[in-house]
Amino acid sequence: MTEHRSGPRRRGQGELEVQVLSALREADGPATAGWVQERLGADLAYTTVITILTRLLAKGVVTRERAGRSFAWTPSSDEAGLAAHRMRRVLDAESDREAVLASFVTSLGPDDERLLRELLGQARAEGED
């Protein structure tokens, strides 16, 4: 994480989401947006932290509860959960992603399922010989 603090260069939203989530996960219990901002360094505006936290909330990666006049935030998932959510967004947005990413299996046609079960049954029977 040290490379992210190397300078005031403009950071992508995705990168910020990861940083805010990591910071929250380092906290003992619920933390406020102010705490997260302090933790991440001074070059991040308070409103930016709130924006990022709200976006993480929409993704179901963090939860929040009222604590006085502000919110206390708790992580409900780890970095892998956030990555899984974002990957699904990428995949769902591409209608023909199979043109780009070689998927392990492609979708099955109408008769394929029956044929496949037959083949696998046959493989199992031969395997037991």
Partner 1 sequence: MGVFVFLPLVLPLTAWPVARLAEQHLHPRIATRLLTALSAAMALCSTLCLGLVMVVGTAQLPGNPLPDGWSDPEVRAAVPFDEVAGKVAIPALLAVLAACGRALWRHGRVRRRAHRALAGLPDTGVAVLPDGVPYAYALPGGRRDRVVVTTALLECLEPAERRALFAHERAHLAARHHRFLLAVQLASLANPLLRPLRTAVSYTAERWADEEAAQAVGSRRTVARAIGKAALVSRGAPSLTLAGFAAPGPVPRRVAALLAPAPVVRSWPSVFTEMGPAAWSAAAGTAVSAMSSANSAVTMLFILHAATPL
Rule CB under 8 A: which residues touch partner 1? Answer: 12, 14-15, 17-18, 21-22, 77, 79-84, 86-91, 93-94, 97-113, 115-117, 119-120, 122-123, 126-127
Phi/psi at 43 (nearest 5 deg)?
A: -80, 5
**In the complex, minimum distance from the CB of residue 58 to partner 1, in angstroms, rounded to a whole number:** 16
Is the Cβ of residue 15 or residue 70 nearer to partner 1 in the bound state?
A: 15
Instruction: Return the number of the residue (72 or 84) whose C-beta is nearest partner 1.
Output: 84
The helix (run of H) or strand (run of E) holding residue 64 is strand 62-67
Tell me the closest approach of the beta carbon of residue 42 to partner 1, in angstroms: 22
Residue 105 to residues 28, 101, 126: CA-CA distances in angstroms? Answer: 42, 11, 24
- 3-class state of residue 14 by DSSP: helix
Nearer to partner 1, 41 or 89 (CB): 89
CB of 89 to partner 1, least distance (A): 7
Question: Could you give the CA distance from residue 32 to residue 17 in angstroms, rounded to a whole number?
Answer: 16
Q: Which helix (H) or strand (E) holds 75?
A: strand 70-75
Residue closer to partner 1 (CB basis): 10 or 69: 10
**Residues in Cβ contact with 14 at an 8 Å cutoff, skipping those fewer than 6 apart:** 86
Smallest gap from Cβ 93 to partner 1, in A, equals 8
